[in-house]
Amino acid sequence: MPKVIRAYVRGIDAMNRFIGRIAMYLIFALIGVLLWSSVSKTFFNPSLWTLETAQFVMVAYYILGGPYSIQMGSNVRMDLFYGSWSVRTKALVDAFTVLFLITYLVILMYGALSSTAYSLGYFGMEPLQFFWELLVTLVTEGFSAAGDKLGYLERSSTAWRPFLWPVKTILCFGVFLMLLQCLAELFRDIGRLRGVEI
């Protein structure tokens, strides 16, 4: 395998391992939020923010931990036949099926970008162009000018009414990391088919 592919696989693995190990501690933040929710409902007035905060933390937990889960091979598989296959057969099947996952993630990424653009006040049909223009404005003119390009920021319809763009941005970032990890897994499986362990 070329050195650039080996470097890519090792770099993506290291990055997703680092992010995944940090993200796994979000479960304690989730426990804290739910514990406070129970205490406030029992002894005080119920807090308005606890349910949505728990949902947002859970989204961050599983979307940022997903690439690490794939890297560790702890994702769910149908092991009816897979467990008895040779390493080469597993690599062949994994290399084929990961293409479906990559296709799904590309579609999911476009939907996540569209939803994030909507949450930032963009109601058009070209979210990638919106983000490109926003980035160019941010780099060339600064935060103030970039803020002027934003429209009405989407909020939740609940009583707490938090802004939705932070959790949607985390979703985009997590799907992007998942795409990078899936490409690394594809390269790893191709290497196994060629008899090289990356």
Boundaries of every domain in the chain: 3-193
How many Å apart are CA 159 and CA 21, to the nearest integer? 34
pTM of the predicted protein model: 0.90
Secondary-structure percent of the chain, ordered helix, strand, coil, rounded to 5: 75, 0, 25
Q: Examine the pLDDT at 30 and tell me if it is beyond 80.
A: yes
Q: Are 188 and 136 in contact (CB under 8 A)?
A: no
Q: pLDDT tens digits for 89-128?
A: 999 999 999 999 999 999 999 999 999 999 999 998 899 9
Would you say residue 78 has pLDDT above 80?
no
- The pLDDT of residue 179: 97
140 backbone dihedrals φ, ψ, rounded to 5°: -85, -35
Q: What mean pLDDT comes out for the span 187-197?
A: 91
Phi, psi of 171, rounded to the nearest 5 degrees:
-60, -45
